[in-house]
A and B are shown apart, each in its own frame.
Chain A
Amino acid sequence: MATQTVKPVSVPGAEPTSAPGTAPSRLRRLARALLPGPAPGANGAALYRRWWLPWLWTAPALVCAAVFGVFPFLNTVLLSFTDAKPLGGAANFVGLSNYTRMLDDSDFWLATRNSVLYALIVVPLMVLLPLMLAVLVEKKLPGIGFFRSAFYTPVLASSVVVGLSWQWLLADDGLINTWLQKAHLIRHAIPFLSDSWLILFCAMGLTLWKGLGWYMIFYLAALGNVPRELHEAAAMDGAGAIRRFWHITVPGVRQAMMLVGTLTGIGSLRVFTEIFMLGSYTGGPGGADRTLPFYIRDVGLDPLTGNAGYGSAVSVALFLLTLGLTLLAQRLTKEDES
């Protein structure tokens, strides 16, 4: 294929340009950009198109991101190399000792196990269940609005209210145990709130129940983009509902599933309220249900005696874990796509 040579086009009224990269040209461009008033020779909207205008419009957001995102992050990284305490005066640089302590800390590893387990169980369920729910409520049937609202209601409820309701449901003399006992299905109450594994699984159930409605909305929007003709054609070819779900619906909402998976993964690694509500402030009996954010609160966030340095080191570990799992998920998805 022959390459075409593009000749420079002269714009009427524009100043003659110097050779690219030469000093006079660069100076002129800089002066033109910085000087007030419209660019010489420009017209219409271009009159006010300056290099700094995009920065000006995005400045509030950038400042907010810097103050509330970048600075706290860098500060956390720095603190993780110190022995900072809320009232301890000046912090001392302690090198990697917070990190070595962390690696030797059995409580840290227990919290990491719980967080990873939480993500491994909650993410697949949270990706699939709301999609199925969305497929069910997508149909235009009389009264379907009621079901959509009902599924969405837990999203609107405060986590604390939901947690308390679940406490009442799961207590030894709560609704579930009472029903099961009345139905003679169990003799003794199931220790939902005193067995550490059951607390962890109930907390996962709570996360799922609260998130179903939220992600259902995501999928409802995504399902609108799946061409109906594909379903009709597949149905004519004899494909059943399950087959159409796997071969048309799922590929059609693939991007939404990616988004839900990533958001849920990040959320699962940051879970705190559910564990606190069901396992109280020790994080279940013996602290066996503590997740990484729970552990960070325990070791680093007490306003009077917290060990901010060590808490920051665990926070950095949580960040790296989140980043690592997100990148891994992206890579697996890309490989799958290719």
Chain B
Amino acid sequence: MRARRLTGTVAGVIALALTAAGCGLSGGSDSGEATAGGCKVDKANVGSGKLSGEVKGKITFQTTNLKKDFGGFFNGVIKAFEKAHPGASVKWIDDPGDNTFTQRTVADAQACTLPDVLNVNSETATALTKAGYLLDLGVKDPDSAKPFVPAFWKSSTMKDSSGASVHTVFPWYTGGIVLTYNTDLLKKAGIDPAQPPKTIFGLFADYEKIAKSAQGKYYATMANPVWRIPADWDQMNIRTLSADGKSATFADDPRTTQWVAWMAKLYKEGAMPKDSLSSSNDPSTPYSQGKVAYGSTNPSFVRFVKQNSPSVYAKTGVGQQPFDALGHTTGAPQYISVAATSKNAPTALAFAEFLTNAENQTAWCKDPNVVIFPTTTASLDDPFFQNVTGDDPFAEARKLVAEQLKTATAYQTNLSPAVQNAIVSQVQLAMQGKKSPEQAVKDAQEKADELLKQGS
């Protein structure tokens, strides 16, 4: 009797739950209404046609963790915009940018309450574009491309749900990429610090020389391939994913297997600390201690070394990151987007353009508290970036990045954490000698394909 009652209750709960699920899962929109990402929006915000309308009304602008150090700058920008557009007001929200930031942004998107103008990174912009939550800036204001470095604008595209490339982001600022190295350790290995390698495999050959000369006393770099996938492959012009981003293609290029074979060889020969294979530690700290020959590729890292380890800074050299087959550097900048759900889209678009214009980008990038670089042509032509004085490593890094940004692109392969982990795991197994490079690359592609098929 009790068992029958229990069965009945469970069946009832499941029936109720499934009914509730049925209600919750049935989506759809009213016919005739414009929708973006499942939210009802102004018709002008979606589809083709330039966005027009008065710049007025209240909008929200969201950044991540900038108020503390740059409150004065951003309040100034907002005040200038409001002065230029009487009737418009901007409410600045500075999210702490902690590890739940992305979840909050997703929750805002699902609730159709994304801030009108928001600062997003490449991964978030990719996901929001795919789900249709961002305004197609290239369509809504075709002139908006003009201020940006052409290569940067051209490559600042995201894929929509159909796999087509759309301009849903304005490139804002970028960190740049440079090679940083301890010249003393390079010289000991017989490497000329003034002649940095031109290819990734050339860099690997230098790592090998360091491993042979160091004999375990110091290392060339860190082992975890997560720092290099897919950045190295992008630089080598290996296509990690298909054009529509729906399948993996890296195994089709024989250079991928060569790359994995190199990594396995370097790991075995002691070019990398053994315990860094799956460690989350980047080279910053061991480099500053003189234990690793090549440091982080971020120019702000040079300043970190200058401040924290003057003796190592004195030996630090800076060189161009190998351009390899791609011929230029890539670097996903920070982006500014406009929500398709904005109730005041013309005002939001105008503010996004104002914030990323040459004048404001130049002003912020000159701030001594940051080591960032602008993405507009006029900003890069500014004497601040063109006439860098001094020959210390920090000045050298500024010169190199300002130069490389004239041809750099923002095209960087975006992999979801699941796909990236699947590939990295297989490469780690190859580095440990548990799989051959060929098998690891083959398995990595299969796993990546499976995850991509399931929408990861």
Contact = CB atoms under 8 A, between A and B. Distances in A.
Interface of A: 74, 77-78, 81-83, 85-93, 167, 170-173, 189, 191-194, 279-287, 298-299, 302-307, 310
Nearest to B455: A85
B58 to A, nearest CB: 26
B386 interface: no
Nearest to B17: A74
A192 B431 CA distance: 17
Interface string B214-257: 00000000001010000000000000000000000000000000
Contacts of A284: 278
B46 to A, nearest CB: 15
Contact of B21 (A78, A193, A299): A78
B425 to A, nearest CB: 4
Q: Which 3 A-B pairs have CB atoms at the shortest separation, nearest pair first?
A: A90-B27, A305-B416, A304-B127
A315 to B, nearest CB: 16
Nearest to B432: A285
Contact of B25 (A92, A298, A306): A92
A39 B434 CA distance: 78
B368 interface: no
Interface centre among B18, B127, B274, B278 (most CB of A within 10 A): B278
Contact of B277 (A74, A81, A88, A285): A285
30 contacts: A74-B17, A82-B25, A83-B454, A86-B110, A87-B131, A87-B133, A88-B455, A89-B37, A90-B25, A91-B25, A170-B275, A194-B275, A194-B277, A279-B278, A280-B224, A280-B279, A281-B280, A281-B417, A282-B226, A282-B425, A282-B428, A285-B278, A286-B425, A298-B421, A303-B102, A304-B106, A304-B124, A304-B127, A305-B417, A310-B454
A191 B223 CA distance: 14
A91 B27 CA distance: 8
A147 to B, nearest CB: 33
A305 B277 contact: no
A144 B34 CA distance: 73
Interface residues of B, number: 49
Q: Is the interface of A mostly helix, strand, loop or mixed?
A: loop
Interface centre among B37, B128, B431, B456 (most CB of A within 10 A): B456
A191 B275 contact: yes
B119 interface: no
Nearest to A91: B25
Contacts of B417: 281, 298, 302, 305
A303 B103 contact: yes
Contacts, number: 125
Contact of A305 (B274, B429, B456): B456
B26 interface: yes
A307 B456 CA distance: 7
Interface string B275-289: 101111000000000
B390 interface: no
A302 B25 contact: no
A323 to B, nearest CB: 14
Given A87-B110, A298-B417, A299-B418, A280 B278 contact: yes
Contacts of B456: 299, 302, 305-307
Contact of B274 (A88, A170, A194, A287): A194
B109 interface: yes
Nearest to B417: A302
A88 B432 CA distance: 38
Contacts of A303: 102-103, 105-106
A302 B105 CA distance: 13
Contacts of A283: 278
Nearest to B99: A303
A87 B109 contact: yes
B28 interface: yes
Contacts of A307: 418, 454-456
Nearest to A174: B275
B428 A285 contact: yes
A131 B417 CA distance: 42
Contact of A286 (B126, B280, B426): B426
A280 B456 CA distance: 21
B275 A192 contact: yes
Contacts of B403: none
B130 A87 contact: yes
B175 interface: no
A298 B280 CA distance: 16
B11 interface: no
A93 B18 CA distance: 10
Nearest to A83: B455
A304 B432 contact: no
A92 B421 CA distance: 26
Interface centre among B28, B131, B417 (most CB of A within 10 A): B417
B424 interface: yes
A73 B101 CA distance: 24
Nearest to A302: B417
B273 interface: yes
A171 B222 CA distance: 14
Nearest to B21: A78
Given A298-B421, A304-B127, A87 B106 contact: yes
Nearest to B16: A74
A155 B432 CA distance: 35
Given A89-B27, A280-B224, A171 B275 contact: yes
A193 B275 contact: yes
A78 B18 contact: yes
Contacts of A281: 226, 280, 417, 421
A305 B25 contact: no
A194 to B, nearest CB: 5
Interface in B10-41: 13, 17-18, 20-21, 25-28, 37-38
A191 B128 CA distance: 42
Contacts of B20: 78
A93 B25 contact: yes
A304 B37 CA distance: 14
Contacts of A305: 127, 416-418, 455-456
B102 A304 contact: yes
Interface string B416-451: 111001001110110110100000000000000000
